[in-house]
A and B are shown apart, each in its own frame.
Chain A
Amino acid sequence: MREPVMASLRVPGRPESLRLIRALVREAALTRGATAEWAHDLVLAVDEACQNVVRHGYGDHGLSGDVIVEVAADGDGMCVHVTDFATPVDPATIRPRDLEEVRPGGLGVYLMRTLTDECTWEAPPPGAGNVLRLRKRLPLHSGEGEQS
């Protein structure tokens, strides 16, 4: 059972949509009482998830399609679902790279996992390709309305 959605957005899976997605996630996090730093980290994780869809889910295959981002308050944190309509991927093949090697690229999945507490793929509804669920806990001292 999913938590009630605070805010959601359906946009074309293109680079120019990412700014709008970030604004949605950031404002939802601040509304939830998160600090600017916490909001930044959730925003970056969601941005990386969405750009994986844009670049690899759609771009690598010459496809186009929408991305749906749904943000929910979830117990002691927040939960973001990212749904795409690309070809389903095997989550086992999505792995962060070894950071010991200094090279461009491959950092997105690492950031996505590092900046959240849970990063899981759920069964997509009929017609969708992939559903990624990102969950991040608020720090214990963080309260409603606290912003920096």
Chain B
Amino acid sequence: MSVSVSNRGGAHVVTLAGEIDLQTSPQVRDAVLDSLRQGGAVVVDMGGITYIDSSGVASLVEGFQVARRQGVAFVLAAVSPAAMRVLQLARLDKVFAFQPDVDTALAEGI
């Protein structure tokens, strides 16, 4: 899988692609928590994610919790149906903030 982080309009955009599993989820966790440590909102672009397991979900939940403590936005963008299904099973579809794509997330003024 690949992880990249960019700064757009004051927000950190963490772009993920590939499969998030036990081997790769630490990279996701590091990228999300590093971004939050720098301050400001975080948008996770999940458009390229083809698979996510419980360890990947746990990385996102950790980001969500840190963001909430810091009072900054934490948005999941372009979540695929397969990834959304896992989030629904975990009953997190009502917990996370979702946007259809990164541009919309940034335009919402987070």
Contacts and interface: CB of A to CB of B under 8 A. Distances in A.
Contacts of B90: 99, 107, 110-111
Given A47-B53, A55-B22, A107-B57, A102 B92 contact: yes
B34 to A, nearest CB: 17
A60 interface: no
B69 interface: no
Interface bracket on A: 20 to 34
Interface residues of B, number: 23
Interface string B49-69: 001011101110110110000
A48 B53 contact: yes
Interface of A is mostly: helix
A99 B23 contact: no
A47 B40 CA distance: 34
Interface string A33-49: 00001001001100110
Contacts of A99: 90-91
